[in-house]
Structure 1
Amino acid sequence: MAKHSKLPLVLGLPIAAAAGSFALSEYFFKIGMARRTKKPRPSKTLLPYAKEYYHGLKWYKHIHKETWHNFEPATGETMVATYIPNENKTKKTVVIAHGYNGTRETMSGYAKMFYEMGFNILMPDDRGHGESAGKYVSFGWLDQKDYQSWFNKLVDRLGSDCRILLFGVSMGAGIVSMLSGTKLPVQVEAIIADCGYSSVREELGYLLKFRYNLPKYPFEAMVSSINKRRLGYYLNDASTTKQLKKNHLPILIIHGSEDTYVPTYMAYENYRASDSPKQLWIVKGAKHAESFWFKPKEYRQRVSNFLKTYFN
């Protein structure tokens, strides 16, 4: 009789464990994919560069610019971007993709650099961020359709002979790298990706271990299943390396050697994946999304040299 009385308890242990794992996976999904509502500020890594950051933001606030909207009739969603026409009329435009938890404003320093290089600037708020629609963050996978619409608007504005450069940092690097594997307009000529991940699935698995000391299984699979139900795709679908294998555009990959948020080995994976003309710059001593601030003169020079070779 005693043995039988323990049976429900024994059977209940796996059920409780499964329920706990699912609850934790739902928590990870929400903190990772839920819409970002906080007003962005420089990350702790960038606090030493606050003066430079706010100098770029001041430039953005005062420069002549336009607000563009992209309405999707099928979903009723509207995406928002800032367009900054260069004072020196030009056909070349850089499309700048911001990082996770950021907005187009947080890319002001980069925008200023490219403006001074003679580019028009298009800076979208990505899905689930800033003024753009989206209940969830898609880490680049669903953003691809939005960016294709932005490209069409640029061609309509500047003409079929315009030239487009893609640039992104962190999640933004994931966006522009994933776009490389799609059918892009002929006007898109080159890509610069700074500290991007190799796939959303691999990044989640890394953060589970690095931040929470948890194994990939079963949480990675559960979060992926939740993501499939809510957003329509599995995390492994959002693979930068898979997309880069189809890339034919010149690409410059930048990554900090001390990046512990998106580990540096992912830069090597992305670099190896692409068979196009490519360059890799590992910035010694730089943490996540710090390269631009850590080595500002060399960063500008590396970008300039890449553009002289593959864009200008």
Structure 2
Amino acid sequence: MKKRIIWISCGVVLLIMISLLAAGNYFYNVAINRSHEAVDLHGGGESVAAAGLLSEEEHQAKLEEVMKWTEQQTFDIVEIESVDGLKLKARFLKNEHSTGKAVILAHGYKGNSEQMPGITKYYYELGYDILKPDARGHGLSEGEYIGYGWHERKDYVQWAGFLVDQKEEEAIFLHGFSMGAATVLMASGENLPVEVKGIIADSGYTSVIEELSHQLKFLYHLPAFPVIQVTSVITNLRAGYTFSEASALESVKKNKLPLFIIHGDKDDLVPTEMAQRIFDMATSKKDLWIVSGAGHTEAYTIAEEVYQERLKAFLNDALEQ
């Protein structure tokens, strides 16, 4: 009888381990492994406020204006090699009236460098050259996994160096959205070129483990432990990083550059409280703007004029430091 209980117990433990490994591999393939399929994340839809901000005609007219301008621009495809041997590509737009200033725009999860047309146009109007990389595992860049900003942070250090060495830029800003925001926050703790003058993070998360735990809860109604931990181990084996080490919170402790954090108060994809915690952890000169009525990365849509005014003020102030 005792042996039978032991065998049954061992069988149950083995079954649990197999199930956890299967779940970990499944979530790795869904969330980390490169694929061209869009992922329907919790909180990723358009908010009521954004949808009702403009009439359909006004929205279409504004979109057509931005897209017409975008189509008239000539973006060069540029390339660097990452520290681990990946060919990374980006779109570069030289301003007709270049002033030696540039911005690196970082797109979100499963996004690409063709996105962010509105903010691209605005930076151009301010006289900035614009670099829009495809993050590793996205778009034209190589890579078989998504690093959620952790491995990408070193890529963006290299992109900043590229702008200094190849394009002779004298002042550079990093501006990211969602995963791109987490990327520039993580990059802020690295040894960036002195030409980098500031960081703008729109809708960034505190850490990979917290963001994926948040998504797991709402998408699959599962507790984070132990699925996230098992997936993290698998990610470490297959992609070379763990969810716990990929932390914007830890990175901003080391950042010495001016920091502008933007977040919507209706963000369900990346909880708004994460912005406050990042702000509280940061030790450099910093500003936090919580945008009323904005969902995930909707601040520019909800409050375009104020966004532009506050962004311009931040840029100018940082340049004077």
TM-score normalised to structure 1 length: 0.91
Query: Which residue of 1 is the match for residue 30 of structure 2?
Result: 31
| 1:138 maps onto 2:139 in alignment | no
Q: 2:69 aligns with which of 59, 64, 87?
A: 59
Shift of 1:283: 0.6
Q: Tell me the alpha carbon deviations over residues 103-134 of structure 1, each in whole angstroms, 9 at most, x when there is no partner.
A: 01112221111111111100000010000000
Q: 1:184 aligns with which of 186, 192, 196?
A: 192
- Pick from 71, 78, 83 the counterpart of residue 68 of structure 1: 78
For residues 54 and 72 of structure 1, the distance between their equivalents in structure 2, rounded to whole angstroms, comes to 36
Corresponding residue for 2:21? Answer: 22
Secondary structure of the 2:46 match is helix
What residue in structure 1 maps to residue 209 of structure 2? 201
CA distance in 2, matches of 1:167, 1:186: 17
Instruction: Report the secondary structure of 1:190's partner residue.
Output: strand
Q: Is residue 109 of structure 1 aligned with residue 118 of structure 2?
A: yes
User: 1:1-312 counterparts in 2 under 5 A?
Assistant: 8-38=7-37, 44-45=45-46, 48=51, 51=60, 52-53=62-63, 55-72=65-82, 75=85, 77-159=86-168, 162-311=170-319
Provide the secondary structure at the position in 2 that maps to 1:80: strand
The alpha-carbon deviation at position 56 of structure 1 amounts to 3.1
| Residues 82 and 158 in structure 2, CA contact (< 8 A), matched pair in contact too | no
**Is the alpha carbon distance of 1:40 and 1:21 closer, same or farther for their aligned partners in structure 2, counting shifts above 3 Å?**
closer
Q: For the residues of structure 2 that align with 1:300 and 1:264, how far apart are their CA atoms?
A: 21
Alpha-carbon spacing, 1:182–1:4, altered in 2? closer, same or farther (3 Å): closer
Contact 1:57 1:105 in 2 (8 A): no
> Following TM superposition, by how much is the alpha carbon of 1:234 offset from its aligned partner in structure 2, in angstroms?
1.2
Cα distance between partner residues in 1 of 2:4 and 2:155: 59
CA distance, structure 2, for counterparts of residue 199 and residue 27 of structure 1: 21
Q: Give the Å deviation of 1:201.
A: 0.9
Q: Give 3-state SS (helix, strand or coil) of 1:275's partner.
A: coil
Q: Secondary structure at the match of 1:285?
A: coil
CA distance in 2, matches of 1:287, 1:232: 32
Query: What secondary structure, in the 3-state scheme, does the structure 2 residue paired with 1:165 have?
Result: strand
CA distance in 2, matches of 1:7, 1:157: 67
Task: Return 5+ residue gaps in structure 1 as ranges.
Answer: none
One-letter identity of the residue aligned with 1:245: K
Whether the aligned pair in 1 keeps the contact of 2:154 and 2:187 (CA below 8 Å) is no
The alpha carbon displacement at 1:37 in A equals: 1.5
Q: C-alpha separation between the residues in 2 aligned to 1:40 and 1:69? A: 27
Q: Secondary structure at the match of 1:133?
A: coil
Residue aligned with 2:114, SS: helix
Work out whether residues 93 and 131 of structure 2, in 8 Å CA contact, stay in contact via their aligned partners in 1: yes
The whole-number CA distance in structure 2 between the counterparts of 1:299 and 1:251 is 15
Question: What's the CA shift string for 1:229-286, capped at 9, x where partnerless?
Answer: 0111211111000000001100100001011111011101110111111000001111
Structure 2 residue identity aligned to 1:185: P
**Equivalent residue letter for 2:313:** N
AA aligned to 2:138 is H
The TM-score with structure 2 as length reference comes to 0.89
SS at match of 1:237: coil
Q: Tell me the CA shift for residue 58 of structure 1.
A: 3.8
The Cα of 1:64 is off from its aligned counterpart by: 2.2
Deviation, 1:31, is 0.9
Percent identity reads 38
Deviations 1:6-65 (A, max 9, x none): 664443223212211221121111111111414899x64279487345643443232122
Hey, what's the Cα distance between the residues in 2 that align with 1:260 and 1:53?
A: 25
2 CA distance for matches of 1:220 and 1:117? 43
Note if contact 1:40-1:103 (Cα within 8 Å) is conserved in structure 2. Answer: no
- Root-mean-square deviation (CA, aligned residues, Å) is 2.3
Measure, in 2, the Cα distance between the counterparts of 1:187 and 1:137: 28
Tell me by how many angstroms 1:302 deviates: 1.4
For residue 180 of structure 1, report the CA deviation from its aligned partner: 0.7
Which amino acid counterpart does residue 247 of structure 2 have in structure 1?
Answer: S
In 2, Cα distance between the equivalents of 1:231 and 1:262? Answer: 23
